[in-house]
Amino acid sequence: MGDLGYKLKVLRRIGLLKVQNPIRLAKAGKKLASWGPGFPSAVGAAAARKPQQLAIIDDAGQLTWRETADEINRLTQAFKDHGLKPGDPVAVLCRNHRYMVIAMVAIMQFGGRMLLLNTMASGSQLTELVRREGAQLVILDQEFLSVATELDRDSLIVAWADDDTHGLPTLTQFAAGKSAKDHPKPEKPGSIVIFTSGTTGLPKGAKRKEPENLDPLLTYFGSIPFEGNSTIVLAAPLFHSWGLLNFGFGLSTVPTYVLRRRFVPEQVIKDIATYRAKVLVVVPLMMQRLVDADPEVIKNNDVSSLKITASSGSALAGELAIHFMDTFTDSVYNFYGATETGWVTIADPKDLRDAPGTAGRVPWRTRVKILDENGQEVPTGETGVIYVGNEMMFGGYTDGRTKDFRDGLMHSGDLGYFDEEGRLFVAGRDDDMVISGGENVFPRELEDALIEHPAVQDVVVKGIPDPQWGQCLAAYVVVREGHTLTEEEVVDYAKQHVARFAVPRAVKFLDELPRNPTGKVMKRELPPFEAEVSA
């Protein structure tokens, strides 16, 4: 199938070539033609095409697309009346709800520079990032005021209010009485800064711009069986690139988003059943918690409507995808990539059943090569550095740094290999590789083995100094409730499932692993082993 045929097939499936009311279609077309691709034009087009369709279902109730567009226009006018100009930075520190959506689109609509902050940011991180990036306003949920004590209160606006004790203007009050008229395209387009996970230090700001054409959207929707006007349970955080990508691309299909401020597995299952959701957007940790949800809730809720479980943000542990599909539906589409790279490969349900652990195949208009230390492509089956090129790569960090490039392809930071079927397998981060007794060892191999132990709830592995082997693997293990496990049992299990040099030489049991909202383990917060202290 040529490019044109590919595009037409995807556009029909997601509803952009569907027969529609000609007047509404003309209004939507006018908005798209005058603005080009982006959040504001997509919301305006959705409101024109399906004004009475539900846009958002959240903890505060429901909003139609017309109501959502009106609220965005009012807030955009409030930003302008406040004196904000295109290019001015506005920080957002919110959970998933209507006010975050309204704020994000309104910032883009006046041409602002949107700073999406991690909900786990500490007070010092928040203060440093806001000041470093020059934010003129900070829009945040009331619960985060405790980490904003060093910021100028005149710059704070509360998005989600739990009560009226905060003494600050709310987003609703800020926009009250403003016009809901549409806005012209700003002279400078809006931009987005997403802060990387910061698992080893202060998060870096990764600059992103909205797509210049429909090709990235068509790549995404060409890889999964997405349909127009679907209901999407968007559980992944909107401040993260994965949640944001699914929100932004989804806009073009006029969906209904189900947003919850907190991830509760049983609530997600009930939402899928209640609203007959076809799409669930998660990070892998959420998939594990859904599998481990109350068995009665799983049994008593019909989730057969679920056609797509879109997962990304961290590696799928062990055979998690198979466990999830056996419990719910054969719907897992796992996207391997990063904030900086966008997607690299995509694994569909068949890939994940046929080759557990695969990161999938290279999608349309994407290039991926495995290179050695000299920049030469390695043969199929050999491990090397993963380099990628696509239309969703970032525009550098806000401090001026960028990634290493070779022949137009970006260094992913990971090592991996392709199999004979063209499926990519990721061995691990290049800086996670451990050399133990002369052997190259990756923590993920041991993690994938240990997570399958019936008594293991969670696990992470890292390298520590070892006087005999140079380095060795150490495992941090969370034991499932109602089970017991000893260090000897962990080691014995590992000996049966991994090579000798990948067996852990130290095991530490924790009540829980320090993870960020996207599921990545914050390794700097792991307690040290004696071997590390004495080394």
Query: Could you give the residue ranges of the DSSP H alpha helices within 36-112?
Result: 39-49, 65-81, 98-109
Please give the full DSSP string across 336-376, using - where no structure is assigned.
Answer: EEETTTEEEEEE-HHHHHHSTT--BB--TT-EEEEE-TTSP
Residues of the chain above pLDDT 90, percent: 62
> Whole-angstrom Cα distance, residue 239 to residue 426?
25
Residue 209's pLDDT is what? 53
Task: Give 436's pLDDT tier (boundaries 50, 70, 90).
Answer: confident
pLDDT tens track for 248-289: 999 989 999 999 999 999 999 999 999 999 999 999 989 999
> Whole-angstrom Cα distance, residue 364 to residue 298?
36
Measured over the CA atoms of residue 126, residue 127, residue 130 and residue 132, the dihedral's sign is: negative
Most confident of 124-128, 244-248, 276-280, 432-436: 276-280
Most confident of 31-45, 171-185, 397-411, 512-526: 171-185
Catalogue all structural domains in the chain, each as residue range(s) with its CATH number.
3-210 (3.40.50.980), 265-429 (3.40.50.12780), 434-534 (3.30.300.30)
> Whole-angstrom Cα distance, residue 461 to residue 443?
5
Inter-residue long-range contacts of 125-130, CB under 8 Å, 24+ positions, other chains counted: 125/198, 125/202, 125/203, 126/93, 126/151, 127/151, 128/202, 129/91, 129/195, 129/202, 129/203, 129/205, 130/91
pLDDT tens track for 480-525: 999 999 999 999 999 999 988 889 999 999 999 998 877 888 888 9
> Whole-angstrom Cα distance, residue 203 to residue 241?
14
- pTM (predicted TM-score): 0.85
- Bridge partners of 56, per DSSP, are 63, 257
Q: Which residue has the tokens 């603005």?
A: 35
